[in-house]
Amino acid sequence: MTASPARLVVDAHAVTGEGPVWCEREQVLWWVDIDGGQLHCFDPSNGKDQNWDLGESVACVQLREEGGVVLALKSGFAFFDPTTGAIERLATPEAHEPCNRFNDGAVDTRGRFWAGTMRMHKHGIQPTGAVYRLDPDGRCTRMMDGFWTINGMAFSPDGTKFYFSDSTAKVRTIWVADYDPDTGTMGPRRVFFDTKDLAGRPDGGAVDAEGFYWMAGITGGELVRFTPAGAIDRIVPMPVKRLTKLAFGGPDLSTGYVTSLGGNNWQESGDAPESGGLFELALGIKGQVANRYGG
C-alpha cells in the first residue's frame, strides 16, 4: 500500500519535537518538545493540542497502566498526572553527569521502561550516553553505555527483539538484540542496518504489527520501513527534512503521527516553515498498541 501525503496537524514550532505515543484508551497522542520543556497531548477528534511546561527538558513520554504518564526528564524518571499537573520524582541515575540528558525510550511487553541518555551540545571526546531500565517496582538499573546519541528504541510485537540506534553522524547505526521479556535482559547486539548510504540518520524508531521496523530519517526527510531481516521495504517521503519519530495511532492504528525538529534554525538547515510541527498521514499499515509502564 502507498502512504498518503503527510499533512500538518499541529503547527507547534517545537524546538525539538519528539517521542509520540498513542493512547488507545483515550484516542489521543502524547508527544514532547525536548528542549522546549513541553509535554503535549493532541486530540485528533477536535484538533486541539494541550501542553504543559515542565520547567526542564523532557526527553520522552510513555503511558502508565495505572493512568497518567511516565517521563524521562533531564533530571531523571518521573510520573506525571495530567489532571493535577503533579510530578512525582522516581530516580535520578545521572545526577553525576550534568552535561547529559535523556533522549529516547520505550516500554517492553512486561511494563519495563527503557530510556537512554546523551551528552548535550558538544559531544566531547568520549561517548557518555547510557541506557537504563526502570522496572515496575521503581528499581533503576544501568544496562548499557558507550553511546553518543541513543535513539530508535522499540520492541518487536512478541517482545523478543529489542531495537536501538546511535544517530550521531559518526555512527548512524541501528542494532537489534534478542530480548527475554520474562527477565528483562538482552543478548549481544548485532548490526540491523548501517544507514550511511541513506539520506537520513536514524532517529526515533517504531515497530508495526507485522514486525517491520520504521526509522525516522532525520536530515533526510523520509521514513524508512525495514523487514525483520534488515532489508529496506519502502521509503516514505515527508514534507520536512528533520523528522524525529513515528507513532501509529487512530481508531485502527493505521494513522501515522510524526514529530519534527524546529527551532530558529530551520531556514539555515534548508527545512520547511512547518518544521517543528506534528504531521499526520495514512500509512495503510497497522501499528501495535503501545506497551504501558507497569508501575
CATH code where residue 185 lies: 2.120.10.30
For residue 115, with 0-12 CB atoms within 10 Å meaning exposed, 13-18 middle and 19 or more buried, which class applies? buried
Q: Is residue 292 part of a domain?
A: no
Cell of 254: 493505521
Model confidence at 2, in pLDDT bands (50, 70, 90)? low
Task: Give the pLDDT confidence of 223-271 residue by residue, as tens digits.
Answer: 999 999 999 999 999 999 999 999 999 999 999 999 999 966 656 567 8
**Chain segment 46-71, per-residue pLDDT in tens:** 999 999 999 999 999 999 999 999 99
Q: In what order do the strands lie in the sheet with 7-10?
A: 7-10, 278-282, 255-260, 243-249
Residue 288 included in any domain: no
Residue 197 resides in a domain: yes
212 inside domain = yes
Residues facing 131 on adjacent strands = 116, 144
Residue 19 belongs to a domain: yes
Q: How far is CA 163 from CA 16, 28, 86, 227, in A?
A: 22, 25, 32, 13
Cα–Cα distance for residue pair 204/201, rounded to 1 Å? 10
pLDDT band at residue 206 using 50, 70 and 90 as cut-offs: very high
Name the domain count of the chain: 1
Q: Is the pLDDT of residue 123 over 90?
A: no
Q: Give the domain range for residue 261.
A: 7-282
In our burial notation (b when 16+ CB lie closer than 10 A, e otherwise), range 238-271 reads bbbbbbbbbbbbbeebbbbbbbbbbbeebeeeeb
| Burial class, 19, CB count within 10 angstroms (exposed 0-12 / middle 13-18 / buried 19+) | buried
Mean confidence (pLDDT) of the chain: 94
Residue 68: all three cell numbers together: 497518567
pLDDT the model gives residue 268: 59
Residue given cell 544501568 in the structure block: 142
Question: Is the pLDDT at 1 greater than 70, yes or no?
Answer: no
pLDDT value for 270: 74
In a domain, 291, yes or no: no
- Give the containing element (helix H, strand E) for 90: strand 86-91
Residue 295 lies in a domain: no
Q: Considering the domain boundaries, does residue 294 fall inside one?
A: no
Catalytic residues: 203
Answer for the pair 73, 55: CB distance below 8 angstroms, yes or no: no
pTM to 2 decimals?
A: 0.95
Closest CA to 240 of 205, 277, 265: 277
